[in-house]
Amino acid sequence: MSERVTLVMCLYNQLPLTRACLDSLRATTEPFRLVVIDNGSTDGTREFFRRFGAPAPLRFVESDSNDSVIGSLNRAWRAVETEYLCLLHNDTEMLEPAWLARLLGALHEPGVGMAGLYGVKRVRRDGRFVGRTIVHSLAERPTVRPPWEEVAVVDAVCMCLSRELMEAVGGLDESFGFYHGYDKDLSFAVRETGRRCLVVHAPFHHRGGGTRTETFARNPERERRDLRLRKIAADRFLAKWGHRLPCDVRPRPARVREWVTAKLAPVRRG
């Protein structure tokens, strides 16, 4: 088997986004495999995968349940046979053909356990991100300095690590519920092994958010449910990792510079 890495996706409808993502993967220079699990799509996603020409060797798993994205991802990554796996959202479009090679290159850096395309350097004591410490490779204006930067948390939009390490940390923690929080948890689990997390410079488009906003506008109850799930995930994260918070991976000089800048900034008057 020549491929070193498998891309893992969990789908539920959104076929146009999935097709755009797969089309963007065709230019990828690093050979890869695909493991895709579909959670009961009704928009033609299953029919599409049954007949389309995949950009890589494909294992397609059909499930009639849409209960837990985290549970489905656990099922999917355990089907991976390559040395590395990369959990990837289907609403991404890769613009840099070497994106996957750059992620794997980052994993070969000393002491690195996981790499991605979006993350945050500082997490507050209450588990919230400090927005000004976010770094990313979003194509519009990438903020991560090439070739990569260390972060405290790698966002779920793209998380690449060895299958051995994923197995060692016990996979994704399904007690976080349907969806929220598993990326923060996995990042801290990786860091708990003494390894670092990196965000790599490899520009990409992220098409997420719009569909979610439209859904909430049509269904306020679904938005309230989503907020409840977020709260449950946040409480779970604090219970599990509160002893490691706050967390800041920035070098001390960078922290001091930010503190001084904040102190010297003029006070705004209303």
pLDDT for 226: 83
Q: Which helix (H) or strand (E) holds 159?
A: strand 158-162
**Nearest CA among 202, 116, 180 for reference residue 152:** 116
The pTM of this model reads 0.90
pLDDT for 108: 97
Confidence of residue 222 (pLDDT cuts 50, 70, 90): confident
Q: 209-217: which pairs have CB atoms within 8 A and are 24 or more residues apart?
A: 211/14, 211/17
Mean pLDDT of the chain: 91
DSSP, collapsed to helix, strand or coil, labels residue 265 as coil
Confidence of residue 211 (pLDDT cuts 50, 70, 90): very low
DSSP state of 33: E
Provide the 10 A C-beta neighbour count for residue 89.
18
State the average pLDDT over residues 196-216. Answer: 76
pLDDT for 197: 98
Strands 84-88 and 5-11: parallel
Specify the amino acid at residue 61.
V
48-71: pLDDT as tens digits: 998 876 788 999 999 887 778 999
pLDDT for 121: 98
Dihedral sign from CA coordinates of 8, 11, 17, 22: positive
Domains plus CATH for the chain? Answer: 5-258 (3.90.550.10)
In angstroms, the Cα distances linking 114 to 28, 60, 137, 261 are 20, 25, 16, 32
